[in-house]
Chain A
Amino acid sequence: MTPQTEPESAAALVFDTAQTPVQRVRSVLHRYPALSPAVVLLISVIVFGMLNERFLLPGNLSLITQQVAIVGTVALAQTLIILTAGIDLSVGTAMVLASMVMAVAASENGVAAPVALLMGLVVGLLSGLLNGMLVTKLRLPPFIVTLGTYSIFLALTLLYSKGSTVRGSDMPAIMTWTGKSFPVGGVSISYGVVIMFVMYVVMAWVLSTTAWGRHLYAVGDDPEAARLAGVRTTWVLRSVYISAGSIIAIAAWLQIGRTSAASPNAGADLNLDSITAVVIGGTSLFGGRGTVWGTLLGALIVGVFRNGLSLAGLDVLYQTLAVGVLVIVAVSVDQWIRKAR
């Protein structure tokens, strides 16, 4: 029986020696989930900067941020939903619907621009409310609900706009203000990018310091455990979908500014692009784990890859190929990190 007397120290010995440098890196990455996308972004910026000197020019960096602003904003909404272990396939068409309502109201119906923006916001809120009620009342999986509302919003957009694009020049200046830029030390920053960034700051603060933020993570982690702990899970879920809807409405405003138009055919594939950004940003599709900063980094990584590859003179199809590889690598790394204790 003597070899059996000190199992704890033997186990501790194994545990100590098992902490190889690789495992130590892994446990650090596990503790700070936004770290790995940050490292990937840094490396890709350095590599693309070395491949082409035009990449790091202020004008090009400014362009990347503007290209990222819309998908980045939509991905913020997507992050909230994925954190609750849901998914929203309707974000793109909901955004287009909101943008068409804003644009048509402001141009053809002659509604004052602030009112038109408010109408778009209401459309966004209602789209989120619809998704949220279907998920919580009928208890349907979010994938199914938003697959349905994806088509519904798409059809409503085409019915409402009769398929025609509204040009930015037909709208009041406020509608396209988000596309305007101001210079900061030689780099021109668009107001849309600032709006996106402010929304990230606010949402990161809300998620980390309010009870609602804790409850959102708890619901995504284990809804039954959250319910038994006294979290009002249906209320949390509904409020998440409604918040996502209002963020999407702001994305619609950014879209009008960025493209200086409101087109019924734009942005339907934003659902997959936003999920890509969220996944590359290290947020788990099973809910409960992830940060909004990871998503912003994920959106920037996709933007940097697309821009860098196009500057390197590669066909646009290779960009799509690279993004596909990125997603699979990101999820594999995430799985590997998850094994850390």
Chain B
Amino acid sequence: MATTTASAANTAAPTTEGATPVLTARGLVKTYGRVVGLDGVDLDLYAGEVLAIIGDNGAGKSTLVKCLTGAEIPDAGTIELDGKQVHFRRPEDAKEQGIEAVYQNLAVSPALDVASNLFLGREVRKPGVLGSVFRQLDIKKMRERTREELNRLGITTLQDVTVPIESLSGGQRQAVAVARAAAFGSKVVVLDEPTAALGVRESGQVLDLVRRLRDAGTPVILISHNMPQVFEVADRIHIQRLGRCAATITPTSHSRTEAVAIMTGAAEA
């Protein structure tokens, strides 16, 4: 297997020439003991684009986005947001900077209700003494804003925001997780396999959501195994292979077959 060809990335995509990226990563390395998760990965994300990340199992897709969202701390390399270098130690560091993520393993708390999950980790307190001294939550306001947010995102399958997540279907749970990222992700929204557990119609809704976010100017990083979906929604495609970026292509520059060939190492970029 020719692993050394991987760094020959062709980053210059026609739509993004000249613009400054919102998010830049250079030379990211992440190891787990002797296992190499990331082996010097570069990534650029521009405003108003959907950047898909594809790759075989174990290629480092999830590790890459975890480093970008503070869920993992890279061993080496730099991350810049709006041209300023950032060091994320925890997910909330990235959240504070407006980077939101939906992880593959669905980071929702089953026993808490929809509104509590949407606001988990950034609860709204009541105004005045009740909130500042007694730390009382404004549950009514959080529920109201949850309903508004779900409406804004066109998620119609969720009517009751007071039901616990565990009583929802897989698609509805995913909708809550995506809504949380979309509601708070002011700079970047990262979705790790958002449609993996969903049916056709629900997948379509999530992809619509991705497009709507992009049209509103929020760049989206989308990890997916689903080639038709990737080619349908992505502006650029970052192909991850063996811990490195094998190539960055666009849906117009390469065909699906070519993308799969690069992904599996059958062809070079």
Contact = CB atoms under 8 A, between A and B. Distances in A.
A24 interface: no
Contacts of A209: 135-137, 139
Nearest to B71: A228
B91 interface: yes
A226 B109 contact: yes
B95 to A, nearest CB: 5
Interface of B: 71, 90-92, 95, 101, 103, 105-112, 116-117, 120-123, 125, 134-137, 139, 167, 180
Main SS at interface, chain B:
loop
Contact of A222 (B92, B110, B136, B167): B110
A287 to B, nearest CB: 9
A211 interface: yes
Contacts of A227: 71, 91
Contacts of B122: 230
Contacts of B109: 217-218, 221-222, 225-226, 229, 288
A294 to B, nearest CB: 14
B223 to A, nearest CB: 15
Contacts of B111: 217, 221, 288-289
B11 to A, nearest CB: 29
A230 B110 contact: no
B91 A211 contact: no
Contacts, number: 76
Interface string A127-154: 0000000000000000000000000000
Interface residues of A, number: 22
List the 5 shortest-distance A-B pairs measured between CB atoms, nearest first: A230-B121, A228-B107, A230-B92, A211-B123, A225-B107
20 contacts: A209-B135, A209-B137, A214-B116, A214-B123, A217-B112, A218-B112, A218-B120, A221-B109, A222-B108, A222-B110, A225-B105, A225-B106, A225-B108, A226-B107, A226-B120, A228-B91, A230-B90, A230-B95, A288-B111, A289-B111
Interface of A: 209-212, 214-215, 217-218, 221-222, 224-232, 288-289, 341
B135 A214 contact: no
A341 B134 CA distance: 34
A238 to B, nearest CB: 16
Nearest to A212: B135
Contact of B121 (A217, A229, A289, A341): A229
Nearest to A206: B135
A225 B103 CA distance: 9
A341 B120 CA distance: 23
Q: From B71, B109, B136, name the one whose CB has the most chain A CB atoms within 10 angstroms.
A: B109
Contact of B103 (A210, A218, A228, A232): A228
B65 to A, nearest CB: 11
